[in-house]
């Protein structure tokens, strides 16, 4: 944590301009909130395809009117190159989060995922280059490991891809590497592992499992688990992801450029364990909360069986140290959902 603490002090005393794409989304709005809290100026770009205006309002309430004046917002789509150029004007560092997430969504509509995650990615990457921006940090995904059975997942060892979404994320990493070599850009890819936390949307067909389950339990709805519940993931709390983005945005280690890094806790929990964690936490808020039996259904197409990250590369090269275990993250996340979803 020493490196991150040093950077937080640096942020307070040295103001830069950051571009956060997808700033109204789950991860983007948390990055926006952190940066504004720490005296930074932020340009935000979002088309509200998956993000929400109320996330921006929550950030404003959190940081206060004065700090929120350091934020300027552009409503637009990364599939439009001119919009990307406009967003890049005067920017020092890009944190690119805008994308169409979800493996099932990409299987259902690969062209739409490609348009956002490959064409849009190339647009914002090229616009950054053409605007003279050097540092470009972007969201990748653990889906690039495909059918590799190696555990824990090490950055250099990937398998055959299992979904169009995985293809889009690996393509982004390839572009990131090429732009680093060809144009001297300081690109850094972050492979997120099952991120969860405050402001993650529980609604919609492609909602992530944690907010979906919490919302269903609060509303006394049925809980569905894909497969036998023994599928495991490296569930990663949002604060760990924010930390890694900021470290990548300000690192002085030139060896990281053109590389990709796992962003995770370095642990592994099954869906059955996750369901137990959530229920235990909800019982703290409602002593009458009873654990409902989950309904098990077919495995989901495109999903890998187990996922667990080796985070030694991020620790060694970036000074990354996760602050939240899954239990600590669930505790904070459930508290936020109870407050936000119960009116």
For the residues 84-106, what does the mean pLDDT come to?
A: 95
pLDDT band at 184 (very low <50, low <70, confident <90, very high): very high
User: Helices in 149-195 by DSSP H: which ranges?
Assistant: 164-183
Q: Identify which of 206, 266, 255, 256 has the alpha carbon closest to the alpha carbon of residue 233.
A: 266
Predicted model pTM: 0.95
pLDDT value of position 102: 83
Q: Annotated active-site positions, please?
A: 165
Residue ranges and CATH numbers for the domains of the chain are 2-197+237-266+301-324 (3.40.50.720)
pLDDT band at 205 (very low <50, low <70, confident <90, very high): low
- Listed in sequence order, the residues at least 6 apart from 201 whose beta carbon sits closer than 8 Å to its beta carbon are 26, 50, 52, 207, 211
For the residues 95-114, what does the mean pLDDT come to?
A: 93
Is pLDDT above 70 for 28?
yes
For the residues 240-255, what does the mean pLDDT come to?
A: 97
Is pLDDT above 70 for 342?
no
- Listed in sequence order, the residues at least 6 apart from 63 whose beta carbon sits closer than 8 Å to its beta carbon are 33, 36, 37
For the residues 44-72, what does the mean pLDDT come to?
A: 97
pLDDT band at 301 (very low <50, low <70, confident <90, very high): confident
């Amino acid at each position: 944590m020493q490196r991150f603490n040093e950077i937080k002090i640096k942020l307070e005393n040295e103001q830069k301009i950051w571009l956060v794409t997808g700033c109204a989304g789950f991860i983007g709005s948390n990055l926006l909130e952190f940066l504004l809290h720490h005296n930074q100026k932020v340009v935000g770009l979002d088309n509200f395809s998956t993000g929400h205006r109320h996330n921006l309002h929550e950030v404003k309430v959190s940081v206060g009117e004065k700090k929120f004046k350091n934020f300027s917002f552009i409503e637009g789509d990364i599939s439009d190159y001119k919009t990307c150029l406009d967003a890049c004007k005067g920017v020092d560092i890009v944190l690119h989060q805008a994308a169409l997430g979800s493996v099932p969504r990409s299987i259902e509509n690969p062209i739409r995922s490609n348009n956002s995650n490959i064409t849009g990615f190339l647009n914002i990457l090229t616009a950054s280059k053409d605007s003279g921006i050097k540092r470009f940090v972007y969201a990748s995904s653990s889906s690039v490991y495909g059918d590799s059975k190696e555990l824990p997942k090490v950055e250099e060892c990937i398998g055959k891809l299992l979904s169009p979404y995985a293809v889009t994320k690996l393509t982004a990493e390839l572009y990131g590497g090429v732009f680093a070599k060809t144009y001297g850009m300081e690109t850094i890819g972050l492979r997120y592992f099952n991120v969860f936390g405050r402001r993650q949307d529980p609604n919609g067909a492609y909602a992530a499992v944690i907010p979906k389950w919490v919302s269903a339990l609060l509303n006394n709805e049925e809980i569905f688990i894909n497969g036998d519940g023994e599928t495991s993931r490296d569930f990663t709390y949002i604060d760990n992801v924010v930390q890694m983005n900021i470290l990548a945005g300000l690192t002085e280690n030139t060896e990281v450029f053109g590389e990709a890094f796992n962003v995770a806790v370095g642990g592994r929990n099954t869906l059955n364990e996750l369901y137990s964690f959530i229920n235990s936490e909800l019982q703290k808020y409602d002593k009458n909360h009873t654990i409902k039996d989950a309904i098990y259904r077919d495995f989901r197409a495109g999903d890998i069986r187990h996922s667990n990250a080796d985070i030694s590369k991020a620790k060694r090269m970036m000074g990354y140290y996760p602050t939240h275990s899954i239990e600590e993250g669930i505790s904070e996340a459930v508290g936020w959902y109870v407050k936000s979803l119960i009116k």
